[in-house]
């Protein structure tokens, strides 16, 4: 091979590496129990708490004034995987109002109760991983727009709501993890699987055991499960809906 041919071959090899097609990403169809672990290539969890996490933005101050508390301020060992701040959610992109992934807020009584659940679970070698907590009202509107635009209006019947208890800071989406490894326990479906398979009691064996363990652990501290979604829990009385963005 002449030097010129060799040079052309090198250029072709470098070009093909640079243009490797990205792995297919179907965030609308997180079907298998493992789907949540192999999303769309974005970092899976929040980065470790850094110097920035403790710093308050203007909107963090507004949330605290409205009576919300950062979950990790009360329970630092709770894992966060705030999907709506990333593209690893059913819309395939970050939602309006989510600016910084590591942020999760709840009304103070709910945040305190969640910290108590985390303490209770420690005895079993388990902990919590939060997928979503307080959700700005604009993010809920964004979900509804997505459903209409993509022909998924049927999800507006029970799965996607224009007004959500998440907007009040008293609903939380979460799962159980092994405390030592941070690995999620098997709940049978990925988070935000909008199908009857996600109904809490629609399972058997170890999956049903795990879902019920989460229900009991949360109920012991005043959280009530939404029967159509094993991950969704609500706490306390109705409160004001908020539209303060998260970490912006």
Radius of gyration of the chain (CA): 20
Q: Which is nearer to Zn ion, 211 or 232 (CB)?
A: 232
Q: Do strands 126-132 and 223-225 pair parallel, antiparallel, or not at all (unpaired)?
A: unpaired
Q: Would residue 99 be called left, alpha or beta, if left means φ above 0 and alpha means ψ between -120 and 50 degrees?
A: alpha
Select the span of 4-12, 25-33, 138-146, 224-232 touching Zn ion (CB under 5 A): 224-232
When binding is defined by CB under 5 A, the residue of 46, 96, 168, 173 that contacts Zn ion is 173
CB of 187 to Zn ion, least distance (A): 14
Could you tell me the smallest distance in angstroms from the CB atom of residue 219 to Zn ion?
16
Nearer to Zn ion, 57 or 246 (CB): 246
Kindly tell me which of 173 and 184 has the beta carbon lying closer to Zn ion: 173
d(CA 204, CA 47): 34
The least CB distance from residue 171 to Zn ion, in Å, is 5
Binding window for Zn ion (CB under 5 A); candidates: 5-13, 59-67, 98-106, 225-233: 225-233
Which is it for the CA torsion 199, 201, 205, 211, positive or negative? positive
Q: Which two tokens stand for residue 23?
A: 């792995």
Task: Quote the CA–CA distance of 18 and 145 in Å, as a whole number.
Answer: 35
Kindly indicate which of the ranges 106-114, 150-158, 174-182, 226-234 contains the residues binding Zn ion, using the contact rule CB under 5 A: 226-234
User: In angstroms, what is the minimal distance from the CB of 131 to Zn ion?
Assistant: 8
Name the DSSP class of 202: S
Collect all residues with Cβ–Cβ distance below 8 Å to 60 and sequence separation of at least 6. Answer: 70, 103, 247
Nearest to 198 by CA among 25, 85, 35, 71: 35
Per DSSP, the residues of 82-141 read: -GGGSS-STTSSPPTTB--TT--EEEHHHHHHHHHHHHHHHTTTEEEEEEE-S--HHHHH
Nearer to Zn ion, 53 or 243 (CB): 243
For residues 143 and 114, what is the distance between their CA atoms, to the nearest angstrom? 26
The one segment of 58-66, 201-209, 227-235, 236-244 that binds Zn ion by CB under 5 A:
227-235
Nearer to Zn ion, 9 or 219 (CB): 219
234: contact with Zn ion by CB under 5 A: no
Closest contact distance (angstroms) between CB of 105 and Zn ion is: 14
Return the residue of 69, 70, 211, 232 that touches Zn ion, per CB under 5 A.
232
Catalytic residues: 229
Q: Compare residues 118 and 225 and give the one whose CB is closer to Zn ion.
A: 225
Contact 74, 111 (CB under 8 A): yes
Closest residue to Zn ion, judged by C-beta, is 232
CB of 235 to Zn ion, least distance (A): 12
Sites of contact with Zn ion (CB under 5 A):
173, 232
């Amino acid at each position: 091979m002449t030097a010129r041919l060799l040079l052309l071959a090198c250029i072709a090899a470098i070009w093909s590496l640079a243009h490797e097609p990205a792995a297919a990403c179907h965030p609308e169809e997180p079907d298998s129990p493992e789907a949540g672990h192999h999303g769309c290539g974005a970092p899976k969890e929040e980065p470790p708490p850094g110097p920035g996490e403790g710093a308050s933005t203007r909107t963090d101050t507004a949330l605290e004034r409205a009576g919300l508390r950062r979950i990790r301020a009360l329970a630092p060992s709770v894992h966060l995987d705030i999907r709506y701040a990333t593209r690893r959610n059913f819309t395939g992109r970050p939602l309006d109002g989510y600016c910084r992934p590591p942020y999760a807020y709840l009304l103070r009584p709910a945040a305190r109760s969640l910290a108590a659940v985390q303490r209770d679970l420690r005895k079993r070698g388990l902990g919590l991983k939060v997928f979503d907590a307080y959700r700005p009202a604009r993010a809920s509107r964004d979900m509804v727009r997505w459903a209409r635009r993509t022909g998924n209006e049927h999800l507006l019947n029970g799965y996607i709501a224009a007004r959500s208890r998440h907007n009040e800071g008293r609903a939380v989406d979460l799962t159980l993890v092994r405390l030592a490894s941070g690995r999620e326990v098997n709940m049978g479906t990925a988070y935000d699987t909008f199908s009857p398979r996600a109904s809490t009691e629609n399972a058997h064996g170890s999956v049903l055991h795990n879902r019920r363990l989460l229900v009991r652990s949360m109920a012991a501290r005043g959280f009530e499960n939404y029967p159509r979604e094993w991950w969704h829990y609500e706490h306390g009385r109705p409160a004001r809906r908020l539209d303060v963005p998260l970490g912006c």
